[in-house]
């Protein structure tokens, strides 16, 4: 019995020592290849992000969050896979009222003001969802008029964090302030596709989305099925 209680104390100390600081890192750069499949309402992303440790302590745990309708597929550092645990995280940053959170164990501690580059991959569907609003009592028909973000064969428009977290973020008091600041600068923009009538509804849209040191840049191309 004494051994059991001693083990419980040690576990408690260990868990507090590795408490997650979701506000430790700032996202300073995104370089993502985005693939949209309107017919399947799917979004797939592969690419790199850069995180800077803005806390006062070295960090070995990084938190990445995307919409709960998306799923993490891979996370690497310097070409090698790293351990991560994926879990749901309640948040009104996304229209589903939840996020898919990856708790990443980095290969080495990142000292204050140092940065780490992660190679990431995630995918899933983005359909119209008013859950965030209906949960606070807004009628469903009104919620749909406000939460119109979706990927579909006839209409594709997805706003950024605050509506749909289609790119990685890490929520918290400071990070929410940074998201509002980025939005004001027009850096983290949404997706809106306007293919011509010559583009098939089954076409797949592919583009590269980059931020860091200036405006967000993207190039869009379409791959058609005949």
Q: Where are the domains of the chain?
A: 19-223
Q: Return the HEC string of the chain.
A: CHHHHHHHHHHHHHHHHCCCCCCCEEEEEEEEEEEEECCCCEEEEEEEEEEEECCCCCEEEEEEEEECCEEEEEEEECCEECCEEEEEEECCCCCCCEEEEEEEEEEEEECCCCEEEEEEEEEEECCCCCHHHHCCCCCHHHHHHHCCCEECCCCEEECCCCCCCCCCECCCHHHHHHHHHHHHHCCCCCEECCCCCCCCCCCEEEEEEEECCCCCEEEEEEECCC
- Tens digits of residue pLDDT in 65-123: 999 999 999 999 999 999 999 999 998 888 999 999 999 999 999 999 999 999 999 99
Region 205-216: what's the mean pLDDT? 66
Q: What is the pTM of this model?
A: 0.77
**pLDDT over 90, % of the chain:** 41
User: Is a pLDDT exceeding 50 seen at residue 178?
Assistant: yes
């Amino acid at each position: 019995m004494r051994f059991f209680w001693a083990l419980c104390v040690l576990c408690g100390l260990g868990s507090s020592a590795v408490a997650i600081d979701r506000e430790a890192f700032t996202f300073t750069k995104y370089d993502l290849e985005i693939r949209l499949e309107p017919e399947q309402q799917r979004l797939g992303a592969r690419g790199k992000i850069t995180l800077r440790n803005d806390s006062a302590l070295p960090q070995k745990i990084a938190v990445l969050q995307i919409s709960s309708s998306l799923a993490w597929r891979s996370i690497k550092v310097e070409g090698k896979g790293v351990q991560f645990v994926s879990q749901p995280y309640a948040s009104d940053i996304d229209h589903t009222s939840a996020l898919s959170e990856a708790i990443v164990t980095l290969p080495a501690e990142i000292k204050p003001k140092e940065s780490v580059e992660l190679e990431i991959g995630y995918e899933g569907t983005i359909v119209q969802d008013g859950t965030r609003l209906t949960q606070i009592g807004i009628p469903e028909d009104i919620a749909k008029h406000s939460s119109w973000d979706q990927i579909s064969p006839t209409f594709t428009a997805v706003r950024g964090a605050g509506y749909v977290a289609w790119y990685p973020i890490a929520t918290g008091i400071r990070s929410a302030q940074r998201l509002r600041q980025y939005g004001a600068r027009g850096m983290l923009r949404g997706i809106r596709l306007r293919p011509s009538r010559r583009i098939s509804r089954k076409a797949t849209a592919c583009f590269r989305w980059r931020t860091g040191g200036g405006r967000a840049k993207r190039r869009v191309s379409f791959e058609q099925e005949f």
